[in-house]
Amino acid sequence: MKKLIVTVALTGNVPTKKMNPNLPVTADEIAADVRRCRDAGAVLFHVHARDAEQKPTLDVNVYKQNVRRIKELAPEVIVQLSTGARAGKDWEERAKPVRLLPEMGSFTTGSNNLPGIVYENSPAFMEYLAGVYQETGVKPEIEVFETGMINNAVFLEKKGFIAPPLHFDFVLGAPGSMPGTLKNLQFLSESIPAGSTWSVAGIGKAEIPLSAAAIVMGGHVRVGLEDNLYLPDGSPASNPLLVEKIVRIAGEIGREIASPDEARLLLGLNPIYKDRVLSML
């Protein structure tokens, strides 16, 4: 079986320090968490930005500070910036993190409900954002909350906007969207084009069980406080504790952990783009 890529969704848009004091929100906190998670075996980091009041923001300056600090403390890791809509709905604003030329960005290829909102990604917006990915050469991670989002990604690939191999992340168990069941994970993982890679982001209580399933199935894993604030025993989680748990489970099963460069190969990342983001900071 191929080596396991461990991704960490460090902060997200919804969690607060009140919900879990271990949530990293400042550039220093985020980078320190990246370093600890890297030391524990994680290689890919899904990064959001928070303003001085800890509210979600798409301010590129905050993204820049976060990336600069991460690259200082853990230069070899893969950085993936979020293009999610909770921090703002303007198309150009949402695309700005991709224009900073990180190695990867997130890309939700469809609309769905999330607590309190419609997570809107219209066909026109998807073509626009896909165009930005095409233009910049940044690799999208396709965030799949519902089955149809796979079809939309394949459509964008056929139109030449995004290049294979596609990398999918199945976000399962978010209230309002596809439940975090093994059946759904199996179905989605069998519904993507041959040669694609995939990870699972189980939300809440689904995080650790679906991660364990993905490790056995040959997929990859995303954990982190964006998706889940608790350890299975109900105590507050932290990003490093979640990574340690995944690495331990993988070790018991006999699945080796990918280094950052091994993850780049598995994901088909272009090595010449590895440090391109540095020129933008």
- Residue 119 contacts residue 113 (beta carbons within 8 Å): yes
Q: Which is nearer to Zn ion, 83 or 189 (CB)?
A: 83
Minimum CB separation of residue 192 from Zn ion in Å reads: 20
Minimum CB separation of residue 233 from Zn ion in Å reads: 25
Q: What is the C-alpha to C-alpha distance for residues 205 and 70, in angstroms, rounded to an integer?
A: 28
Q: Which is nearer to Zn ion, 12 or 240 (CB)?
A: 12
Binding-residue pattern over the window 259 to 278 for Zn ion, x denoting contact by CB under 5 A: --------------------
Q: Does residue 57 interact with Zn ion by CB under 5 A?
A: no
Q: What is the C-alpha to C-alpha distance for residues 96 and 84, in angstroms, rounded to an integer?
A: 11
Minimum CB separation of residue 97 from Zn ion in Å reads: 11
Which residue's CB comes closest to Zn ion?
82
Q: What is the C-alpha to C-alpha distance for residues 147 and 141, in angstroms, rounded to an integer?
A: 15
- The helix/strand/coil state of 100 is coil
Minimum CB separation of residue 84 from Zn ion in Å reads: 5
Number of residues that bind Zn ion (CB under 5 A): 1
Q: Which is nearer to Zn ion, 56 or 255 (CB)?
A: 56
Q: Which is nearer to Zn ion, 57 or 82 (CB)?
A: 82
Binding-residue pattern over the window 64 to 83 for Zn ion, x denoting contact by CB under 5 A: ------------------x-
- Residue 98 contacts residue 137 (beta carbons within 8 Å): no
Minimum CB separation of residue 108 from Zn ion in Å reads: 9
- Residue 57 contacts residue 64 (beta carbons within 8 Å): no
Minimum CB separation of residue 226 from Zn ion in Å reads: 5
Q: Which is nearer to Zn ion, 153 or 255 (CB)?
A: 153
Number of H-type helices and E-type strands within the chain: 9, 10
Q: Which is nearer to Zn ion, 2 or 86 (CB)?
A: 86
Q: What is the C-alpha to C-alpha distance for residues 157 and 59, in angstroms, rounded to an integer?
A: 29
Distances (CA, A) of 172 to 74, 92, 175, 187, 225: 29, 28, 9, 12, 15
> Residues in the site for Zn ion, rule: CB under 5 A?
82
